[in-house]
């Protein structure tokens, strides 16, 4: 990727709030990188309805932060001993018109390219995004209990009500060809801007990666092959993956194979580090130390391919005493990942001694 990453595998955190207390807590955990969540709390799972978000950067329709606002946020983050590495994701409300080829697509593209230019000017190297109509079709069904009674998000296709019906607000079914055409138009517009600005765009999988279509909406990024197609559609050194290990685990993929596959192509921008039990059409999320894949093997593979970038806890279970941001579960995950990373690095050092 084009952006410069220093050091080996690092642990970052996604947060909407940039309050002094939040940044201090993240630094105390030993994390290094900050990815700021967008402004729309209605489009994220419960654990990201971050009510400590009064001190933040609003990113959404008609809420494009200026260069000076981004620089002020970057300075605030750096003053806390952290790095402002990127915007975690675009809200669906910013890219939905582009996805469906609606009248507002041109205006949406203009806002997104403005955001990319501003990020580049403020020396913030990453913009995550997805092609996922989160507020239109369900992302999760009823939560379940995992270790010790912690609450975890889950998906069970059999719990969906009328899954063959059109999603609310749609008048017809969309084809996969239409969605690929609209996606290509998006890439052809934004990637030249990203290249000029020095910003890496990072694509997240559809979640849950179930079926070719749901509610009349194609679910493009549901498998490895479609990710390869996305990367080849408009080739660019500034386009890669927000590699969500949990999503690929949900697909039933061997995540170490996925890491090698895209890592060898230098197409991993940053990592969402989470795991699940089960695969589509039924799975639930869990703690990072007990899911479908082995965390140490995943980190060892990242080390083997020479990945130099951030891994961040994504969804985490809700532990007793957690706040809306799930600070206890997030703290556990950061600490666990740091321990595994340090162990893998120590193994490498002993091998070369």
pLDDT tens digits along 276-316: 999 999 999 999 999 999 999 999 999 999 999 999 999 99
What CA–CA distance (Å, rounded) separates 326 from 181?
39
Helix H segments across 31-85? 67-79
| Other Cβ atoms closer than 10 A to 321 | 7
Measured between alpha carbons, how far is 14 from 25 in angstroms, rounded to an integer?
13
For residues 47 and 16, the answer to whether their CB atoms sit within 8 Å is no
Element (H, E) at 303: helix 295-304
DSSP element (H, E) containing 352: helix 327-352
- Over residues 106-121, mean pLDDT: 98
Q: Which CATH superfamily is domain 10-352 in?
A: Divalent-metal-dependent TIM barrel enzymes (3.20.20.150)
Domain spans of the chain?
Answer: 10-352
- Whether pLDDT at 257 is above 80: yes
Whether the bond between 190 and the residue before it is cis, its omega within 30 degrees of 0, is no
User: Six-digit token pair at 143?
Assistant: 């939560």
Beta bridge partners, 327, equal none
The strand pairing partners of 33, in sequence order, are 12, 83
- Reduced to 3 states, what is the DSSP secondary structure of residue 188? helix
Asked which of 1-10, 154-163, 215-224, 235-244 is least confident by mean pLDDT, the reply is 1-10
Decide: 142 and 159 in contact? Cβ < 8 Å.
yes
CB neighbours of residue 189 within 10 Å = 17
- Per-residue model confidence (pLDDT) at position 4: 39
Alpha carbons 28 and 30: distance in angstroms, whole number: 5
Beta-carbon contacts of 33 under 8 Å, excluding residues fewer than 6 positions away, are 10, 11, 12, 13, 82, 83, 85, 310, 312
* Separation of alpha carbons 126 and 279, rounded Å: 30
- Region 25-46: what's the mean pLDDT? 85
Question: How sure is the predictor about 3, in pLDDT bands with cuts at 50, 70 and 90?
Answer: very low
Burial class (CB in 10 A: 0-12, 13-18, 19+), 232: exposed
Distance CA 249, CA 269 (A): 18
Cross-strand pairs, 279: 282
């Amino acid at each position: 990727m084009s952006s410069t990453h220093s050091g080996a595998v690092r642990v970052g955190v996604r947060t909407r709030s940039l309050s002094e207390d939040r940044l201090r807590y993240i630094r105390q955990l030993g994390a290094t990188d900050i990815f700021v969540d967008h402004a729309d709390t209605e489009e994220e799972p419960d654990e990201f309805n971050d009510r400590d978000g009064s001190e933040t950067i609003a990113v959404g329709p008609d809420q494009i932060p200026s260069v000076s606002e981004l620089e002020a946020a970057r300075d605030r983050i750096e003053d806390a001993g952290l790095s402002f590495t990127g915007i975690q994701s675009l809200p669906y409300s910013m890219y939905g018109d582009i996805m469906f080829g609606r009248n507002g697509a041109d205006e949406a593209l203009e806002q997104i390219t403005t955001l990319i230019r501003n990020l580049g000017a403020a020396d913030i190297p990453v913009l995550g995004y997805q092609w996922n109509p989160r507020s239109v079709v369900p992302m999760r069904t009823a939560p379940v209990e995992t270790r010790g009674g912690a609450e975890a998000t889950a998906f069970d296709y059999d719990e969906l009500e009328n899954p063959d019906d059109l999603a609310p607000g749609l008048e017809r079914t969309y084809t996969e060809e239409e969605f690929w055409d609209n996606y290509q138009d998006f890439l052809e517009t934004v990637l030249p801007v990203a290249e000029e600005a020095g910003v890496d765009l990072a694509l997240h999988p559809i979640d849950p990666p179930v079926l070719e279509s749901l509610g009349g909406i194609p679910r493009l990024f549901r498998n490895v092959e479609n990710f390869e197609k996305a990367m080849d559609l408009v080739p660019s050194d500034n386009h890669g993956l927000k590699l969500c290990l949990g999503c690929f685990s949900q697909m039933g993929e061997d995540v170490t194979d996925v890491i090698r596959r895209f890592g060898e192509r230098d197409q991993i921008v940053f990592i969402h580090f989470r795991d699940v039990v089960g695969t589509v059409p039924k799975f639930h999320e869990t703690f990072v130390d007990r899911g479908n894949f082995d965390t140490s093997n995943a980190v060892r593979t990242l080390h083997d391919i020479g990945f130099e970038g951030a891994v961040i806890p994504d969804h985490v279970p809700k532990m007793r005493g957690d706040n809306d941001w799930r600070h206890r579960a997030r703290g556990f995950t950061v600490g666990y990942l740091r321990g595994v990373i340090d162990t893998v690095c120590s193994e490498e050092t002993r091998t070369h001694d």
